[in-house]
């Protein structure tokens, strides 16, 4: 989009994209923790309190990803509107 308008876009656009990518990485890490925890639980018996913390951490990460996705969609729509010919 920067090539289309021949000038750099607002810094909030790149910031929103960076936060979105960071949120994706956090969700991936939390999901990996959940998988490791679930496989350990199958070997060691009944569920522990730790399981709830892992699931809640994943839920918080997913909520942050949802918010970041909404923001990045809006930012990209605005960037597209700025690059379209008038």
For the chain, what are the domain ranges? Answer: 10-83
The pLDDT score that the predictor gives to residue 39 is 76
Closest CA to 69 of 21, 26, 32, 30: 21
The pLDDT score that the predictor gives to residue 1 is 64
The pLDDT score that the predictor gives to residue 49 is 59
Reported as a single tens digit per residue, the pLDDT across 38-70 is 777 655 555 555 678 898 999 999 999 999 999
How many separate helices (H) and strands (E) can be counted in the chain?
Answer: 3, 0
């Amino acid at each position: 989009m920067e090539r289309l308008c021949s000038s750099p876009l607002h810094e909030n656009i790149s910031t929103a994209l960076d936060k979105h990518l960071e949120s994706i990485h956090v969700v991936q890490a939390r999901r990996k923790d959940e998988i490791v925890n679930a496989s350990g639980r199958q070997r060691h018996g009944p569920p522990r309190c730790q399981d709830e913390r892992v699931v809640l951490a994943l839920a918080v990460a997913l909520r942050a990803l949802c918010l970041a996705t909404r923001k990045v969609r809006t930012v990209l729509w605005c960037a597209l509107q700025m690059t379209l010919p008038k």
